[in-house]
Amino acid sequence: MKLIDGKQVAAQVIEECKQEIAQLKEQGIAPGLAVVLVGDDPASKVYVGSKVRKCAELGLHSEKIELPADATHEEVLAVVERLNADEKIHGILVQSPPPPQIDEDAIVRAIDPAKDVDGFHPVNVAKLALEDATGFVPCTPAGCMRLLKEAGIETSGAEAVVIGRSMIVGKPMALLLMGKDSNATVTVAHSRTKDLAEVCRRADIVVAAIGRPNFVTADMVKDGATVIDVGINRVEDASAPRGYRIVGDVDFDAVSPKCAAITPVPGGVGPMTIAMLISNTIKAAKLAQ
Amino acid sequence: MKLIDGKQVAAQVIEECKQEIAQLKEQGIAPGLAVVLVGDDPASKVYVGSKVRKCAELGLHSEKIELPADATHEEVLAVVERLNADEKIHGILVQSPPPPQIDEDAIVRAIDPAKDVDGFHPVNVAKLALEDATGFVPCTPAGCMRLLKEAGIETSGAEAVVIGRSMIVGKPMALLLMGKDSNATVTVAHSRTKDLAEVCRRADIVVAAIGRPNFVTADMVKDGATVIDVGINRVEDASAPRGYRIVGDVDFDAVSPKCAAITPVPGGVGPMTIAMLISNTIKAAKLAQ
């Protein structure tokens, strides 16, 4: 069994980004990322903090815009519009989820698609479906694809089962895997799938993105399959320093012995997300020239 | 075995359309469709002719714009822009394929998404992926979904295999089937799929959209499956009046005895396409109010 080391692959992506940043610097171009945080959700604060820190570490221009929890929809919109017009900013990210008075879909649609480094704007959703390489692929599925590639997993002709049909992970992952760059035979399974275990057992590649701790059990995975675990779930654990620990959607201990390759949680897909965000920001800066 | 009669279902859709047209008329609204034909491809002429005839039959305002085969891209673009601005026109369709000097993708992107009754504009592609009901679903997959519904085929929890991954049929069909309105477990198979027969044999619902005559054979279909045949292929036949006949992607004679339900070719999916086009045009006229 091969452990797919997301930290290592992410470090490699970051290294490539550093080189690209240096090259762009020679041309007088400094990629810039703006991260908008509305309210004070502790998890969102942590995510935003690590994104901004990573930018600083790479010498990437970044801006953190914090709005109070009672900010109006119009105030958030005004920030997005200012950032759309700001030539120093190539990527804009509004941390999800915003407070309930904010219409998140409308905010996403207000972001200039050319700066939508999260890849959630309809224009980028369409480009993904149309296999138009000028679009931005959402960071998590982009990271999963990169992990498969670095682990040397053949996707062409492979049977892939994606569990979950969200627009954040499941659907884009399915579109990427079935596209002409990957050529996998893709099944999208979800909460309404009958005999999910049987469907999953067909897969050479399982992508688990359901958001339920330890959902994928050993009987759902065939011998020699590759498993990509997108889940990040907190489970109570009195023995853990914070009273909880992070587990994936896959029962790692039971499933991993059967696998040809598997991503751990943490240390698998997770570290890839920020790396792909940085990579998308550099792409946006290049396309803006 | 139940023969899914596309002519009958299409007639029913047209009947609904008539009622909606009458209701809109009372409100002073006359839905209008513009069909743009560039060049003199005989098949395209036939398609455009039957679309315009159907509009006339329904008392729907329609406009046929014919451009010569050597029309420039800019000339086609100018026609689209004029139609975008024309309040009497709610749906715009540029017959595919245009001559090679025309950039078809750019023409599609130039159509106002609110008038894109073909459902090929990126905005509508995204709406389909995002399950946003204000978008336009491409006519052929929309017709297939309606046939399944009218035939009483349960999609929820069913295993569906879509053969073909085009943006005209395969991908939108997969997105429709996996969406929350249908809840099927969907596999997209294609030219690179290994052991396609085995993959297809899993399916409760097979949608064939490969464009190869009689491609789906009896060994690829499980007993009791429903088969939707999207193919329209000409095969030479000296005994036929025109020297050819139209066959689907499915070997009907061999496959149909195994099926719970199947669409014939001709008379299955084909008649649905114009009906869904009319239906989309009415929807566009309503949304424009």
User: Which residue positions in chain A have pLDDT lower than 50?
Assistant: none
**Is A126 in contact with B122 (Cβ distance < 8 A)?**
yes
Contact A155, A128 (CB under 8 A): no
Instruction: Match 């703006």 to its residue by tokens.
Output: A34
Predicted pLDDT of residue A30: 96
Give the SS3 label for residue A121.
coil
What type of residue is A165?
Answer: R
**What is the model's pTM?**
0.96
Q: Cα angle at B72 between B68 and B75, to 5 degrees?
A: 85
Residue A101 CA to residue A70 CA, distance in Å, equals: 8
Burial class, A192, CB count within 10 angstroms (exposed 0-12 / middle 13-18 / buried 19+)? middle
Q: What DSSP letter does each residue of B153-169 carry, written as one string?
A: ---TT-EEEEE---TTT
**Is B167 in contact with A130 (Cβ distance < 8 A)?**
yes
Contact B173, A177 (CB under 8 A): no
R_g over Cα of chain B: 19
Q: Which two structure tokens, joined as six digits, stand for B223? A: 């007993």
Q: Hey, what domains does chain A have and what are their CATH numbers?
A: 28-113 (3.40.50.10860), 139-270 (3.40.50.720)
Residue B57 CA to residue B7 CA, distance in Å, equals: 16
The candidate with the shortest Cα–Cα distance to B258, out of B214, B220, B206, B222, is B222
Dump pLDDT digits (tens) for A5-36: 999 999 999 999 999 999 999 999 999 999 99
Dump pLDDT digits (tens) for B59-75: 999 999 999 999 999 99
Residue B207's φ and ψ, nearest 5 degrees, are -115, 115
Residues in B closer than 8 angstroms to A189, CB to CB, are 185
> Average pLDDT for residues B28-47, to the nearest whole number?
96
The candidate with the shortest Cα–Cα distance to A173, out of A133, A217, A143, is A143
The candidate with the shortest Cα–Cα distance to A262, out of A168, A158, A185, A148, is A148
Dump pLDDT digits (tens) for B262-288: 999 999 999 999 999 999 999 999 999
Query: C-alpha B250: how far from its chain's center?
Result: 17
From the list A5, A54, A95, A229, the catalytic residue is: A95
Per-state percent for chain A, helix, strand, coil, to nearest 5: 45, 15, 40
Dump pLDDT digits (tens) for B69-102: 999 999 999 999 999 999 999 999 999 999 999 9
Contact B77, B94 (CB under 8 A): no
Burial class, B69, CB count within 10 angstroms (exposed 0-12 / middle 13-18 / buried 19+)? exposed
From the list B54, B95, B115, B171, the catalytic residue is: B95
Residue B187 is inside which H or E element, if any?
strand B185-189
Residue A188 is inside which H or E element, if any?
strand A185-189
Residues in chain A: 289
**Is A185 in contact with B192 (Cβ distance < 8 A)?**
yes
Q: Report whether the peptide linkage leading into residue A42 is cis, meaning its omega lies within 30 degrees of zero.
A: no
Predicted pLDDT of residue A126: 96
Q: Which residue of B has its CA nearest to A167?
A: B130
Torsion of CA B19, B25, B29, B30, to 10 degrees: 80
Residue B266 CA to residue B135 CA, distance in Å, equals: 29
Return binding residues of A for NADP(+): 164-166, 232
Q: Is A23 a catalytic site residue?
A: no
CB contact burial B229-249 (16+ within 10 A = b; e otherwise): bbbbbeeeeeeeeeeebbbbb
What type of residue is A11?
Answer: A
Size of interface A-B (CB pairs under 8 A): 84
Q: How far B22 CA sits from the closest chain A CA (Å)?
A: 35
Q: How confident is the model at residue B197 (pLDDT cuts 50, 70, 90)?
A: very high
Give the SS3 label for residue B111.
coil
Predicted pLDDT of residue B227: 98
Predicted pLDDT of residue B126: 96
